[in-house]
């Protein structure tokens, strides 16, 4: 069998690796997309993306393939986004917090206690508001495909538990590179400290930061529970993950390939929600068995402490109207 790479002179994008197999006079084109992200392969979001890759292969009859590179093999979330923008990577998964630096409207998801309940949250992600936000990335040379459930984020600390916002005083808390996350931690009384995900275990271990905030599956699969022995389930934010593709790569796909990819993404998001629920339960049980003290504080003091953020962003011309839509959305 002879393997030929489709000539770039025919106008195809270099990151859509199209291979032509010639055997017995039959030609089959295979479009291969690279997807890089920073999560561990055991993480439920990675499992959701594997489901999407399998579905794309099934829908296309094997003519479209997604190769997934987890654990920051191709760079951090921000680096992968930048590679998408210049057309050097096809797809990635990023937290919506990282998108704040590219599309300011995504800051709305960083507002603490934004959603009334899970029904309200998924109505926003999967309804007209979410679809509009996915499309809104196109001016930044990125196209959103779907939102993945990333649950609720809570604080975990090394040396002392967090029972109220006052307990954050004097603590350096790792946050994502997100203006909203920085403002939230600071207004609660902590000292927000951006640290990349790949460096956080060592930062916790060496005392560079005193704690961090994330969801149960990430806390568990990252092994941060080995050094952070207190986990406070205050559930301050529900920041989704976003599956995105380079706009340049998307535009080079055929209409049929676009339909296959979008259908696979939508179905994977529904599948991933179920995996997330199961993973959250097993992760909390696992860290508890490992000796982590799990605290369930009253949410009201945390909610009251962050109200100035709502007052600030209600009048923001980019965030205010979107915030109003979300708060009024039916669930």
pLDDT digits (tens, 9 = 90+) for 307-320: 999 999 999 998 99
Shared domain for 233 and 246, answered yes or no, is no
Residue 23 has pLDDT above 70, yes or no: no
13, 1, 53: which is closest to 264 by C-alpha? 53
Predicted local confidence at residue 102, as pLDDT: 87
pLDDT digits (tens, 9 = 90+) for 227-286: 999 999 999 999 999 999 999 999 999 999 999 999 999 999 999 999 999 999 999 999
Predicted local confidence at residue 8, as pLDDT: 33
Predicted local confidence at residue 331, as pLDDT: 63
Shared domain for 146 and 163, answered yes or no, is no
Mean pLDDT of 188-212: 97
Shared domain for 69 and 132, answered yes or no, is yes
Domain carrying residue 44: 2-150+241-282
d(CA 35, CA 48) in angstroms, rounded, equals 13
Q: How confident is the model at residue 330 (pLDDT cuts 50, 70, 90)?
A: confident
Shared domain for 75 and 217, answered yes or no, is no
Residue 128 has pLDDT above 70, yes or no: yes
Residue 97 has pLDDT above 60, yes or no: yes
Shared domain for 254 and 292, answered yes or no, is no
Our count of domains for the chain comes to 2
pLDDT digits (tens, 9 = 90+) for 174-185: 999 899 999 999
Shared domain for 169 and 258, answered yes or no, is no
Mean pLDDT of 120-147: 97
Element (DSSP H or E) covering residue 300: helix 300-305
pLDDT digits (tens, 9 = 90+) for 152-192: 999 999 999 999 999 999 999 999 989 999 999 999 999 99
61, 71, 124, 63: which is closest to 93 by C-alpha? 71
Q: How confident is the model at residue 22 (pLDDT cuts 50, 70, 90)?
A: very low
Predicted local confidence at residue 9, as pLDDT: 31
Whether the CB-CB separation of 72 and 89 falls below 8 Å is answered with no
Predicted local confidence at residue 190, as pLDDT: 98
- The CATH number linked to 306 is 3.40.190.170
Shared domain for 134 and 266, answered yes or no, is yes
Shared domain for 234 and 181, answered yes or no, is yes
d(CA 80, CA 243) in angstroms, rounded, equals 12
Shared domain for 90 and 160, answered yes or no, is no
pTM above 0.85, yes or no: yes
- Domain stops at, among 282, 297, 312: 282
What tokens does 290 get?
């490992």
Predicted local confidence at residue 312, as pLDDT: 93
Shared domain for 205 and 301, answered yes or no, is yes
Shared domain for 117 and 202, answered yes or no, is no
223, 222, 230: which is closest to 168 by C-alpha? 230
Shared domain for 124 and 26, answered yes or no, is yes
């Amino acid at each position: 069998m002879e393997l030929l790479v489709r000539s770039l002179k025919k106008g195809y994008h270099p990151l859509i690796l199209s291979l032509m197999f010639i055997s017995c006079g039959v030609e089959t084109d295979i479009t291969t997309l690279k997807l890089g992200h920073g999560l561990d392969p055991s993480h439920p979001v990675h499992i959701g993306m594997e489901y999407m890759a399998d579905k794309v292969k099934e829908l296309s009859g094997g003519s479209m393939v997604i190769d997934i590179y987890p654990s920051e093999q191709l760079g951090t979330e921000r680096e992968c986004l930048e590679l998408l923008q210049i057309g050097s990577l096809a797809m990635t998964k990023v937290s919506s917090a990282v998108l704040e630096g590219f599309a300011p409207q995504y800051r709305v998801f960083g507002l603490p206690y934004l959603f009334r309940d899970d029904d309200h949250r998924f109505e926003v992600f999967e309804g007209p508001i979410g679809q509009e936000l996915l499309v809104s990335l196109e001016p930044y040379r990125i196209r959103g495909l779907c939102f993945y459930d990333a649950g609720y984020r809570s604080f975990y600390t090394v040396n002392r538990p967090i029972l109220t916002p006052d307990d954050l005083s004097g603590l350096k808390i790792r946050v994502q590179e997100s203006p909203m996350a920085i403002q939230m931690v600071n207004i609660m009384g902590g000292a927000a400290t951006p640290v990349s995900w790949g460096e956080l275990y060592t930062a916790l271990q060496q005392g560079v930061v005193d704690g961090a905030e994330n969801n149960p599956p990430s806390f568990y699969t990252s092994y941060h529970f080995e050094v952070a022995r207190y986990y406070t389930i205050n559930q301050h934010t529900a920041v989704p993950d976003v599956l995105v593709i380079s706009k340049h790569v998307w535009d080079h796909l055929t209409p049929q390939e676009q339909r296959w990819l979008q259908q696979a993404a939508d179905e994977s998001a529904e599948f991933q929600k179920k995996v997330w629920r199961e993973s959250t339960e097993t992760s909390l049980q696992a860290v508890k068995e490992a000796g982590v003290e799990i605290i369930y504080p009253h949410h009201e003091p945390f909610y009251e402490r962050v109200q100035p953020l709502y007052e600030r962003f209600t009048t923001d011309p980019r965030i205010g109207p979107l915030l109003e839509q979300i708060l009024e959305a039916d669930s």
